[in-house]
Structure 1
Amino acid sequence: MANLKQAARRIIEELYGEGRVEVLDELCHPGYVSHDPLVGDADLAGVKAYVRLLRACFPNLEVRIHGLYVDGETAITWWSMEGNLARRLLDVEPRGQRVHMEGMTISEFENGKLVEDSSQWDTFGYLQQLGLAQPLEPKARELYEQQGLVI
């Protein structure tokens, strides 16, 4: 259990926090696949490319683990990341905007190697912070009021 906890911690702290993509080669099964609501499914090469892009866009990215739980060969990590946009991303020009991301990752291991993980995080909030999505609240309030409901 301790080894799986350490491996899950290293993925967040070393891979995302430090940009050390080589940690994937050490910790993952060659057939590893990652599932993410923004970038979709990715293999080892795809995750490495995503981390390189993320670190280039947010060079001061800070990561924090809020909780890490292991049951059998499954690890659940509750994490947050925060940094300033320093490079064009998704057609958004950098203005030093501070972006906060928070989510959870469920990691499945086999024989001590990471074979699959699925992340769920506040993707909509991330897109809002970048200016790519608008809050739905004003429109939702209008729709509720039309139905005679109060929020």
Structure 2
Amino acid sequence: MSTTPEENKRLVRRIREEVEDQGDLDAIDEIFAENVVTHTPMGELHGPEAIRELYESESKGFANSTETIHSVIAEGDTVAMRLTESGVHDSEFMGIEPTGRQFEVQTMAFFRIADGKIAEWWMQPDTFGFMQQLGVTAADLEAAVPANDD
């Protein structure tokens, strides 16, 4: 099933409109392929359930965050998006206690669409700038995230 670039852009926008704005986590199964791979600065996530857990964690750590989409470009099976997320770190997130600080982070995201669903998602937020705004240090991160001694 081939989709047009416009259909692909609409599919990607559903993440913000339905999952983030409306809190409809069931839409994740309609938007993402069963074997979706999400590439993040913290590692890879596999499957829609991992994406659901990511959104549940973010909604708890940043209850009033908002996203502004600045541009969405599609070509073939690829969609690129530039956005800004802002809010307040008001609950524990990834083992980091709430700082109460405001943040505004720029993010680039790329999506590969296959058979009418998102098959791959690359997230590239300004993680360093985000942590700086929260006042989180390398030592804070080491204490919050256990080392992988593999």
TM-score strictly above 0.5 = yes
Deviation at 1:16, TM superposition (A): 3.3
Which structure has the bigger radius of gyration? 1
Give the Cα separation in 2 of the matches to 1:128 and 1:84: 13
The alignment partner of 2:109 has SS state of strand
Say whether residues 1:119 and 2:123 are aligned partners: yes
1:93-112 superposed matches below 5 A: 93-112=97-116
Give the Cα separation in 2 of the matches to 1:79 and 1:20: 20
Say whether residues 1:42 and 2:42 are aligned partners: no
TM-score by length of 2: 0.80
Name which of structure 1's ranges 60-69 and 17-26 shifts more when overlaid on structure 2. 17-26
TM-score by length of 1: 0.80
Percent pairwise identity: 27
CA offsets 1:76-98 (integer angstroms, 9 cap, x no match): 01111111112122444324211
2:66 — aligned with what? 62
Deviation at 1:121, TM superposition (A): 1.3
Give the Cα separation in 2 of the matches to 1:5 and 1:96: 34
**Paired positions, count:** 133
Say whether residues 1:129 and 2:133 are aligned partners: yes
Give the Cα separation in 2 of the matches to 1:68 and 1:133: 33
2:79 — aligned with what? 75
The alignment partner of 1:68 has SS state of strand
Give the counterpart letter for 2:45 in structure 1: A
Give the counterpart letter for 1:97 in structure 2: R
RMSD of equivalent CA atoms: 1.7
1:21 — aligned with what? 25
Give the Cα separation in 2 of the matches to 1:49 and 1:90: 12
Please list every run of 5 or more consecutive structure 1 residues that lacks an aligned counterpart in the other structure: 135-151
Question: CA 1:24–1:90 in 2, change beyond 3 Å: closer, same or farther?
Answer: closer
Contact in 2 for aligned 1:92/1:130 (Cα 8 Å): no
CA offsets 1:2-23 (integer angstroms, 9 cap, x no match): 2111111112333234433222
Please list every run of 5 or more consecutive structure 2 residues that lacks an aligned counterpart in the other structure: 139-150
